[in-house]
Amino acid sequence: MNKKQCTAAAKLIEILKNQGVECIFGLPGGNAIPIFDALAQSDMKLVLTRHEQGATHMADGYARSSGKPGVVLVTSGPGATNTLTGVMTAMMDSVPMVVLCGQQLTTNLGLDTFQEADVSGMSYPIVKHSFLVKDPEELPSIVNQAFHIASTGRPGPVIIDLPKNVTSAYIDEDTSGEFSLPGYTIRKEGSPDAIKEAAAMISKAEKPVLMVGHGAVISGASSEIKAIVEKMQIPVCNTLLGKGCFPESHELNLGMPGMHGTAYANMALCESDLIVSIGARWDDRIAGSPSDFLPQAKKIHIDIDPVEINKTVQVDCAIVGDARSVLDSLYGYLEKGNTQRWVKLIKRLKREYPLKYKKEGKLRAQHVIEEMSRLTGGEAIVTTDVGQHQMWAAQFFKTESSRNFLSSGGAGTMGFGFPAAIGAQMANPGKTVVAVVGDGGFQMTLPELSTAVNEKLPIKILLINNNYLGMVRQWQHMFYENRLSGVDLVGNPDFMKLATAYGMKGFRVKRSADVRKVLSAALEYNDGPCIIDAEVEKYDNVFPMVPSGAGLDKMLLTMPRKKLDKPKGGT
């Protein structure tokens, strides 16, 4: 008796549903048609994007805001290569994503046939893992493996290359999706000895600081962190990707340290005697020069990925494990020390060195962002693009809970912010989503305006329009005697007219006095996306700034009069 059969593509969609996938972001092409055909015969939601890079950032924003893997579906060759920037972006920030790529027939691989590209080969350095499915019978197992790998341990992107003859082949409906991955193990619980050692170090410390990173967000360690802070009275700073895991309005929160961090976070780290990284990888944006990063402080590192331990900064105590599980066990061993004087100093630093900008004169980006933060009261999901506006958003958008601030940190991918907001809004239909973008980066993925309009997503695109690739202009101004090279965005479109062209709402704000009125109006508009074109001061620079490669004690609070040396670190 013949068993019931279906195409491998139909099976693929069924497995996606079983994996809890609600929507797929993508764009079709010849070698993906069998999959799109199966999609059409299912009730799976497809968000049709205008470019494959956009699809990846949408899936990324979906994943970062929900904790569930984002799914992308594209065709072979150029469709697949267009996803690579987004895949790398997800890899750098440990974002769970599954990218399904159509592929030429298995018999055509390696022969330079039409739209054939060695996508799995290209992907190796920028994925957590990748698969090429050659046997349709293996498809169910491989898809399940991909979701398991993408979403467990340290999450990351997984690419599955799906040849057209594989997806159109018929397989038994009950083909097994089981798998074993002997080379893939996750250490969830930390070593008890290391945890006790860390507890003793924390209990003894007089000037400890917690540094909360993306790992803490991913593991859902918010309440464990809060419990420790409350019991031990330890101040907390958060990395760009750790924003919100511990509420930024808390009196012991120091905001973000590092290159454009708050002065008080950097000063506190310079004074501290113990830094506890909770899922933060001592990125060079914070550590500057990792080989001599704050030698006065002992360091504890909690990370689920053993590769991160001692990768750049040498630590005194390492705990490999899931942040939440580790903190949960750690709590029991902590003995309340005396941090009263330390906390007093922290509060004084916060009072004496607040983030500052001029409210008079030309409209300031900081003003617009701070007002948006105030009006949304910690309830909005904020995505950012990359540049000055990103750093101002990090400084001025007070984030109160995990998964509410989404930014491309490790990769710094311009073009990320707006499509990521689409993904975040898809995952969180009821929430206010604000995309803080620059006039440069926004133009890299703005064709997705069609996508947002089609889906009627009420995203507020807060465009910090300074007519410059501002962050690069700032570096040229500060370190290259203001020789501006390739940063003037002459020929920017009229963004109000652009909004009209896409059939969406546009707002414009030019004067400080109008900020609240215009932002309130935009927040009240919910019939679809809107652009808020904020024409801000062109020549403003982000401060504080620690020149790249320098120690945190070299922080500049304002533009110094004397000439600055070229920074030693990378970009």
Partner 1 sequence: MSDSQKKHNISLFVENKPGVTIRIALVFARRGYNIESFVGSPTQDPNYSRINIEATGDSRTLHLMLEQLNRLVDVIHAREYSDEDVIQKELALIKVRCDNETRTEILQIASAFKCRNVDISDTTMTFQVTGKSSKIDAVRKMLDKFGVLEVVRTGKVLIARGEEETSW
Interface ranges with partner 1 (CB under 8 A): 120-121, 124-125, 128-130, 132, 149, 181-184, 305-307, 309-311
Q: Is 102 helix (H, G, I), strand (E, B) or coil?
A: strand
Q: List the x/- string, 9-28, binding to ligand TPP by CB under 6 A.
A: --------------------
Position with the least CB separation from Mg ion: 438
To the query of whether residue 335 is one of the catalytic residues in this protein, the response is no
Strand partners, 158: 98, 129
Q: Pick from 157, 244, 412, 423 the residue near ligand TPP by CB under 6 A.
A: 412
Catalytically annotated residue among 17, 41, 45, 114: 114
Q: Does the annotation mark 115 as catalytic?
A: yes
466 is a site residue for Mg ion (CB under 5 A): yes
Of 14, 19, 44, 52, which one is the catalytic site residue?
Answer: 52
- Give me the helices (H) in 174-300, please: 192-204, 214-219, 222-232, 263-271, 284-287
Q: How many other C-beta atoms lie within 10 A of the C-beta of residue 486? A: 8
Closest separation in Å from C-beta 366 to ligand TPP: 11
To Mg ion, the closest distance from the beta carbon of 468 in angstroms equals 5
- 446 and 415 in contact (C-beta within 8 Å)? no
Choose among partner 1, Mg ion, ligand TPP, none what residue 386 binds, the Cβ cut-off being 5 to 8 Å by kind: ligand TPP
Tell me how far, at minimum, the Cβ of 125 lies from partner 1, in Å.
Answer: 6
Q: Are strands 460-465 and 505-509 parallel, antiparallel or unpaired?
A: unpaired
Separation CA 289–CA 551 (nearest Å):
6
Q: How many residues bind ligand TPP (CB under 6 A)?
A: 19
Catalytic pick among 256, 471, 504, 545? 471
Taking the C-alpha atoms of residue 166 and residue 181, their distance in angstroms, rounded to an integer, is: 22
Decide: is 470 part of the binding site for Mg ion (CB under 5 A): yes
Q: 159-193: b or e for each residue (b if 16 or more CB lie within 10 Å)?
A: bbbbbbbbbbbebeeebebebeeeeeeeeeebeee
400 belongs to the catalytic site: no
469 binds ligand TPP (CB under 6 A): yes
- Does residue 441 belong to the site contacting ligand TPP (CB under 6 A)? yes
DSSP 149-189: HHHSSS--EEEEEEEHHHHHSEEETT-------TT-----S
| CB nearer ligand TPP, residue 126 or residue 472 | 472
Q: Which is nearer to partner 1, 314 or 476 (CB)?
A: 314
d(CA 38, CA 45): 12
What span, in angstroms and rounded, lies between the C-alpha atoms of 388 and 255?
17
Which of 387, 423, 544, 567 is the binder for ligand TPP (CB under 6 A)?
387
Identify the residue among 470, 529, 547, 567 touching ligand TPP (CB under 6 A): 470
Site for Mg ion in 427-446 (CB under 5 A): 438-440
Interface with ligand TPP, residue 468, by CB under 6 A: yes
Q: Is 164 a catalytic residue?
A: yes
In the complex, the smallest distance separating the C-beta of residue 438 from ligand TPP, rounded to whole angstroms, is 2
Residues paired with 374 in a beta bridge: none
End-to-end CA distance of the chain: 65
* CB-nearer residue toward ligand TPP: 2 or 485: 485
Which of 326, 381, 464, 552 lies at the binding interface for ligand TPP (CB under 6 A)? 464
CB nearer to partner 1: pick between 183 and 486: 183
- The item of Mg ion, ligand TPP, partner 1, none sharing an interface with residue 33, based on CB under 5 to 8 Å by kind, is none
Least distance (Å) between residue 106 CB and ligand TPP: 34
- Look up residue 301 and give its amino acid: H
Q: Which partner, Mg ion, partner 1, ligand TPP, none, binds residue 414 by CB below 5 to 8 Å per kind?
A: ligand TPP
Q: Is the CB of residue 115 less than 8 Å from the CB of residue 148?
A: no
CB 401 within 8 A of CB 414: no
Q: CB-based contacts of 526: which residues, under 8 Å, 6+ apart?
A: 458
Distance CA 536, CA 206 (A): 44
CB of 304 to partner 1, least distance (A): 11
Q: Which range in 96-104, 112-120, 260-268, 435-443 contacts ligand TPP by CB under 6 A? A: 435-443
25, 53, 97, 164: the active-site residue: 164
Q: Is-contact 164 104, C-beta < 8 A?
A: yes
Closer residue to partner 1 (CB): 130 or 266? 130
Query: Is the four-CA dihedral 514, 519, 524, 527 of positive or negative sign?
Result: positive
Binding site for ligand TPP (CB under 6 A): 385-389, 412-414, 438-441, 464, 466, 468-472
Residues designated as active site: 52, 114-115, 164, 471
